[in-house]
Chain A
Amino acid sequence: MSSQYSLAATHFKNVAEFTVVTHKVKDDVIAAVTLAVLSIFKNLDKSDDDAKNLVGLLWVFKTILNSTLIPLDYPELRLKERYREILILLKNQNIDPKLVHALETSIEALWSKHKNYKFDRLLSISQNFLSQIGPIGLVGKILYGDDPTCIKFTISSLSNYGLHVTKIETKRQIQSSIFEKIFIVSPPMRSSLDLMKYIFYSGITPEVNLVLYEHENFYTPHRIELPISQIFQTKVQKFKASKIEAPVLTADTKDYELNSWAEESFWSDIHGGSRTKTTQSVPAHYILFEGGEGAFMPVLGKILHIEKISVNADKGNFSYDLSYVDILDLIEGDYVLLRKNSSGFLFNEEIDGIEDDDDDGVLDKITDWKNALSALLLTKEYSEVAFLMRSKGLSVAAGKIKQWEGVDTIAPNSEAEFKALIEVLAEEGKLSPDVGNVKLYAQQKWSDIQEYRISRQKAGLRARHTVLEGLLAKIEGLDIDSYDGAKNLDSQLGQNLLIRRVASIDQSTSYVHQSNLYKIDDLRGNKWLR
């Protein structure tokens, strides 16, 4: 395994040399089907439920057709079954018969086609470097579900030609890897944009090869760049899109619109959470696990992340670490440990075992001064409160006042800042007269806050020690990345513990009722995951 140092050195080198080569492949049959699908798509009313279903199926069909590298009559692709489902729904729609006829005609030609030109091109490109090189990657993250484009079969076919290729599905999977070349065989979907950005901007490869049909457009994944201050303007050599030696397009194509629509429609069908806030709802993110399960987790929730910390794969030794992470810190391919209660709901890891039953009461008591701060902020800006703090000899940024007011921060970390803040609140007449001696109040409150922090920390450590360390012992030595390892884990851990691999996270916030949080959904029959 490469060290972080040698990986970093290679990342810098690769970024400097980064090149994208585009290989366009002509296939009139697939182009005709794609055109027919897009024409039907344009004529459908996407707010109608049946039409929405139809568009979803058409989109999956079109994407598999364009992305797969195996012959189109390969039964595992299920193209004929998919098309039959499309035809049934098409009949119920009021669509120009000419468009349906165009689809039918082009599809007829499709069934008599037994070759995959993208695969042939990939092979012919590979002939040039078969003997030279190190690891080659192929981006296999194209659709949700269990390998709908049969990438696994493609990889094994390529190995018959002496080409050993790694299937790239997640960012986590390749974080410690370097590739000599990476092949991308379809335009990026929104779901794989993070992965695409990683491939394009992190330096894990010096060369990306795009293998695309002539009718397909590739748009460069956009990254936010650091604005360079005047002092370094002539000294920074930015990684430029011009380094990419390929006709790449911006994202304003019709394909992109369709993809965006389809992907939003995907999440809507998967979890049905609203994107609009109501008084009854709480903000949440949906996590879809591999294998077709999923659950809503609160935006500020924590989840137990399992990390392989030392690997001695040759000897079959694996070691793991458990830590609480924020939901949005998870990425595709991460393993998480989930605990279920007797009703089948997942535990709220942030609260369970860390806070006592009467914890809320204690928290309210030690943060009662926040009411006074909120009252002061009704009439003053954060910067004005910061200015008042300055009169106490403490220079604090306005942003700090905002943090202290919020629920994420219990209190200032510094005793001096806390006491000065209490003095300011008293002088501004926002503290209740019941407080009495302000200095004594501040002293007492600070002691309570410190005590709370220490007890929370101890309780957290205790809970971790008693429950989680025991669990770790059970998985020690197993390889959770292997299929058998994952199966063994499920049987060893018992019914109330689950180890799951993250397939995807809906980065957009959904607003759902509290009772929908932590509920495990079984999505195996969902049309997007078949």
Chain B
Amino acid sequence: MSKALLLNNSPVEINTFDSLIGFRKPLYVSDKAHIDTASDAIGEWVKACIYIGKWAKSCYRKDNRRITIVVLPSREVATAFIALGALISSISSYKDGLSWTKFSTLDSGLEIYWKKVETGELFIGRVMGIEPIGSEPAIKLEITKSRKSRDVGTKILIPEGQFNKFQFSLEKPASVQKEVDINASIAFIDQLIGDISPSWAKSDGQDLLLVTKIKQFQSSIDCLLAAVGDEALQSIKFQSLLGFERLGDGKHSKLKISHSKGNLESTAELVILDGPSAFSIKEHISVRSDLLIAFDTLEFNENELAFVNELEVVAEPDDCKDDLFYGAKEKFPVGFEVSSYSFPR
């Protein structure tokens, strides 16, 4: 990352938040009707939020659980940028081709959705197991719903070699409008950090869960626009960039959102708990998920301190030191407090 990084065709100073996040072009965010590149470049606090989100997501380890706590002067919009950072980490580390491994181990009887990439034809069906076609393993599926009624009840075999001709999902595929949003979001992030896999956003599974007061969160980012590059030619609604859906609504999204009294059954590797009410349900989050908990300065009180003190006792030496950041002059902005602990799951 630090070798020949260019930001808008100029060399980037090594190990600034820009380089640590992997920005190739400047990011602009505005709460007005359009982006003004003279005044809307994101501030250091936004970069720090994106960085900490990216770092926390990238530190996921199978055997160890990580809990990161962030205390900020203001938290409401900050969690949106933290979530963006975590999504950037997911995109950067995404590798195609994992889905076969996952789908070939799904239980028989499970309902799944798939689409033929070439024609866009949609199907709903059930997994019937793995059967070999010659020496090649194939997934056997029974179609339960299709536009063509004659297909219903048909059993089909999809060998590993043909797998990429289909898009499989345990959740309903995105609607046409949603797909347009997803594509715009992918194009945006590709400009911002480059070298991303276009199939990431449509790949199966959740990467991130944000537990928050949904109405407040949505209204805090409702008016925000984002643009990339000095020309900032095309802006995108920040909400579309995050592309979140409610957890449990069956709609496909990499970022799920829920409230503290809502559905919390998530497979996401990182769960962001936004504020005290989300913090109060931390015990209901699966230990398979890492946590990033955000408070504002007045929300961090005795209870929260006691929790951090307990973490300090059980924490193991940390293996997730970001050497580039550690060696750099860059620091978090004043008032940006962060702590992180890792221990066996």
- Chain A partners chain B: yes
Give chain A's interface residues, CB within 8 Å of chain B.
Answer: 3-9, 11-16, 194, 197-198, 201-203, 223-232, 234-239, 395-397, 399-400, 402-403, 413-414
The chain B residue sitting closest to A230, CB to CB, is: B318
Contact with A along B43-66 (1 / 0, CB 8 A): 111100000000000000000000
Check A202 against B297 for contact (C-beta < 8 Å). yes
Contact between chains at B300 and A12 (CB < 8 Å):
no
Cα distance A224–B73 when bound, in Å? Answer: 13
**Hey, which bits of chain B sit against chain A, CB under 8 A?**
29, 31, 43-46, 69, 71-74, 76-78, 219-221, 223-224, 264-265, 282-284, 287-288, 296-298, 300-302, 304-305, 308-309, 312, 315, 318, 320-321, 325-326, 330-341, 345
Q: Is the CB of B265 within 8 A of A228?
A: no
A13 vs B345: C-alpha distance in the bound complex, in angstroms?
Answer: 38
Q: Determine the residue in chain B with the shortest Cβ distance to A9.
A: B43
Asked if B298 contacts A194 (CB within 8 A), the reply is yes
Q: Knowing A194-B298, A232-B340, A237-B333, say if A202 contacts B74 (CB, 8 Å).
A: yes
Write out the residue numbers on chain B whose beta carbons fall within 8 Å of the beta carbon of A228.
Answer: 337-339
In the complex the two chains form, is A11's CB within 8 Å of B74's CB?
yes
- How far is A7 from B345 in the complex, measured between Cα atoms in Å? 38
Q: Quick check: B298 and A223 within 8 Å, CB to CB?
A: yes
- Provide the residues of chain B in CB contact with A234, threshold 8 Å: 326, 331
Contact (Cβ within 8 A) B321 A15: no
With a cutoff of 8 Å between Cβ atoms, the chain B residues found around residue A397 in the complex are 283, 287
Docked complex Cα distance between A16 and B336 (Å): 10
The answer to whether A8 touches B77 (Cβ under 8 A) is yes
Q: Distance (Å) between the CB of B81 and the closest chain A CB? A: 9
CB neighbours (8 Å) of A14 from chain B are 73
Could you tell me if A5 and B77 are in contact, using CB atoms closer than 8 angstroms? yes
Residues of B within 8 A of A194 (CB): 298
**Could you give 8 example pairs across A and B, Cβ below 8 Å?**
A4-B76, A9-B46, A225-B300, A228-B338, A229-B312, A232-B332, A236-B332, A238-B334
B287–A5 touching, CB < 8 Å: no
Question: With A226-B69, A228-B338, A395-B345 in contact, do A4 and B298 touch (Cβ < 8 Å)?
Answer: no
Going nearest first, the 5 A-B pairs with the smallest beta carbon separation are A15-B335, A3-B31, A4-B220, A12-B45, A8-B74
Asked whether A229 and B318 contact (CB < 8 A) given A11-B74, A197-B298, A236-B332, the answer is yes
B45 touches A8 (CB 8 A): yes
- Cα distance A235–B318 when bound, in Å? 15
Task: Assess the A202–B69 pair: CB atoms within 8 A.
Answer: no
Interface centre among B72, B219, B220, B336 (most CB of A within 10 A): B336
Whose C-beta in chain B lies nearest to the C-beta of A2? Answer: B31
Collect the chain B residues with CB atoms within 8 Å of residue A231's CB: 318, 320-321, 340
Q: Which residues of chain A have C-beta atoms less than 8 A from B309's C-beta?
A: 227
> Chain A residue with minimal CB distance to B282?
A399
A7 with B74: in contact, given A197-B298, A396-B287, A414-B265 (CB under 8 Å)?
yes
Residues on B with C-beta less than 8 A from A403 are 283-284
20 further contact pairs, Cβ within 8 A, besides A4-B221, A5-B221, A227-B305: A3-B223, A5-B31, A8-B45, A8-B76, A9-B46, A12-B333, A16-B334, A198-B298, A201-B297, A224-B304, A225-B300, A226-B338, A227-B312, A229-B318, A232-B339, A235-B326, A235-B330, A235-B331, A239-B297, A403-B284
Check A229–B340 contact: CB distance below 8 A.
Answer: yes
* CB-nearest residue of chain A to B287: A395
Q: Is the pair B45, A235 in contact by a Cβ cutoff of 8 Å? A: no
Find out whether the CB atom of B45 lies under 8 angstroms from the CB atom of A237: no
A15/B76 in contact, CB under 8 A: no
Partner among A9, A224, A400, A413 whose Cβ is within 8 Å of the Cβ of B300: A224
A5 touches B224 (CB 8 A): yes
Please, how many angstroms separate the alpha-carbon atoms of A235 and B265 in the complex?
Answer: 34
Chain A residues in 8 Å Cβ range of B334: 12, 15-16, 237-239
Using CB atoms, name the residue of chain A closest to B299: A224
Q: Is the CB of A399 within 8 A of B339?
A: no
Complex-state Cα separation, A403 to B281, whole angstroms:
10
CB-based contact B331/A236 at 8 Å: yes
Question: Using Cβ atoms and an 8 Å threshold, which residues of chain A touch B318?
Answer: 229-231
Asked whether, in the complex, the Cβ of A236 is within 8 Å of the Cβ of B337, the reply is yes
Smallest CB–CB gap between A85 and chain B, Å? 38
Distance to closest chain A CB from B28 (angstroms): 12
Q: Cβ of B73 and Cβ of A236 under 8 Å apart?
A: no
| Contact across chains for B302 and A224 when beta carbons are under 8 A apart | yes
Q: Looking at A226, A238, A395, A400, which has the most chain B CB atoms within 10 Å of its CB?
A: A226
CA–CA, A507 and B297, complex, Å: 19
* B73 interface neighbour in A203, A229, A230, A402, Cβ under 8 Å: A203
- Contact between chains at A201 and B298 (CB < 8 Å): yes
CB distance from A425 to the nearest CB of B (A): 19
A23 to B302, CA, bound (A): 33
Q: Which residue of A lies closest to B43 (CB)?
A: A9
CB nearest to B276 among chain A residues: A329
* Residues on the A chain within 8 Å of B43, using CB: 9, 12-13
In the bound complex, CA of A228 to CA of B223 (Å): 34
Report Cα–Cα, A238/B300, bound state, in Å.
14
Bound together, the chains give a CA A15 to CA B305 distance in angstroms of 22
Chain B residue numbers with a CB within 8 Å of A395 are 287-288, 345
A4–B212 CA distance with the chains assembled, in angstroms: 15
Question: How far apart are B312's CB and chain A's nearest CB, in angstroms?
Answer: 7
List B contacts of A414 (CB < 8 A): 265
Residues of B within 8 A of A4 (CB): 74, 76-77, 219-221
- Residues on the A chain within 8 Å of B337, using CB: 225-226, 228, 236, 238
Measured between beta carbons, the chain B residues less than 8 angstroms from A400 are 283-284
Minimum CB–CB distance for A10 against chain B, Å: 9
Of the candidates B73, B264, B288, the one having the most CB atoms from chain A within 10 angstroms of its own CB is B73
The CA of A400 and the CA of B45, in the complex, are separated in Å by: 34
A239 to B334, CA, bound (A): 6
Taking CB as reference atom, which chain A residue is nearest B59? A231
State in angstroms the CA–CA spacing of A4 and B74 once bound together.
9
- Once the chains are docked, how many angstroms separate the CA of A511 from the CA of B110? 54
In angstroms, Cα B247 to Cα A413, docked, is 14
CB-CB under 8 A from B345, the residues of chain A are 395
Cα(A223)–Cα(B29), bound, Å: 32
Shortest B147–chain A CB gap in Å is 34
> Smallest Cβ distance from B32 to chain A, in angstroms?
9
User: Residue B308 contacts which of A13, A226, A232 (CB distance < 8 angstroms)?
Assistant: A226
A6 touches B265 (CB 8 A): no
Which residues of chain A have C-beta atoms less than 8 A from B31's C-beta?
3, 5-6
Residues of B within 8 A of A198 (CB): 298
What CA separation (Å) do A8 and B224 show in the bound complex? 13
CA separation between A356 and B29, bound complex, in Å?
50
* Cα of A234 to Cα of B223 in the assembled complex, Å: 36
**Once the chains are docked, how many angstroms separate the CA of A197 from the CA of B300?**
12
Contact partner, A227, options B76, B77, B320, B339, Cβ 8 Å: B339
